Chain A
Amino acid sequence: GQQVMQIPQYQHVQEGEDFTTYCNSSTTLSNIQWYKQRPGGHPVFLIQLVKSGEVKKQKRLTFQFGEAKKNSSLHITATQTTDVGTYFCAGSNILTGGGNKLTFGTGTQLKVEL
């Protein structure tokens, strides 16, 4: 079945440093979504990418979808303490009949120290 891996599993940074998490799927994806889960909270949708090579930005966050639609990345510039949480990528393969079912990545837990 489809597997989605993320690296790194954990990342500690000093406030102001940049952060990147990488997401790799074992199969080609129709789309990739990113979610953020704060400690003790539930996942919250950040963004969806659907086109090969697509890049989207949200303030300090930059999301990229690979050309082969099998990998993605999230880059945060100048991290802040409010960025603390676990970031999950999630992909679906609608074209193979999976519907809107998402396979979530393993997640990257980000800690930001002052």
Chain B
Amino acid sequence: GAGVSQSPSNKVTEKGKDVELRCDPISGHTALYWYRQSLGQGLEFLIYFQGNSAPDKSGLPSDRFSAERTGGSVSTLTIQRTQQEDSAVYLCASSLGFGAGEFGDEQFFGPGTRLTVL
């Protein structure tokens, strides 16, 4: 596709339920990132996938959060037993990754999934 896509665009769930958020990165991008953004706040790093390397999970706030990336492309962020404080916009981004050279490369963001936990 032309850009990063995310689904669903909006998700309303009840406290305690599990949710899955999907990200389709730009074709050919080896790096994929998940961020969380609360209303009016900055971007909180969650997890980073680079090629076949072990993901950097250092930003996951609790063991209720997990993510996987299948076949080096699509990624799913799963939140188990959702809590009200999980309500936020979850943004996915992709970039060329290591192929971009030694100084890093720009990240292309998807439109986000707005999660509301009632």
Which residues of A approach B to under 8 Å, CB–CB?
A: 1, 30-31, 33, 35, 41-45, 48, 50, 88, 90, 92, 94, 99-107, 109
Task: Specify the chain A residue showing the minimal Cβ separation from B108.
Answer: A45
Which residue on A lies nearest to B50, using beta carbons?
A: A99
**Bound Cα distance from A50 to B104, whole angstroms:** 9
A-contacting residues, B82-97, CB 8 Å: 91, 93, 95, 97
- Given A100-B50, A100-B97, are A45 and B107 also a contact pair (CB < 8 Å)? yes
Smallest Cβ-Cβ distance to B106: which chain A residue: A45
The interface residues of chain B lying within 8 Å CB-to-CB of A41 are 111
- Pick from B33, B40, B98, B111: contact of A101, CB under 8 Å: B33
Asked if A100 and B45 make an inter-chain contact with CB atoms under 8 angstroms apart, the answer reads no
CB distance from A94 to the nearest CB of B (A): 6
For B111, what are the chain A residues with a Cβ–Cβ distance below 8 Å? 41-42
Return chain A residues, CB-CB under 8 Å to B31: 99-100
Task: Count A-B contacts at CB 8 Å.
Answer: 69
How distant is A109 from chain B, measured CB to nearest CB, in Å? Answer: 8
B residues with a Cβ closer than 8 A to A are 31, 33, 35, 40-43, 45, 48, 50, 56, 58, 91, 93, 95, 97-98, 100, 102-112
Contacts A42-B109, A100-B98 given; does A30 touch B45 at CB 8 Å: no
Interface pair A100/B100, CB less than 8 Å apart? yes
From known contacts A100-B97, A101-B48, A104-B43, infer whether A33 and B104 are also in contact, taking CB-CB under 8 Å: yes
Chain B neighbourhood of A88, CB < 8 A: 42-43
Do A92 and B104 have beta carbons less than 8 Å apart? yes
Nearest B residue (CB) for A50: B103
Minimum CB–CB distance for A6 against chain B, Å = 8
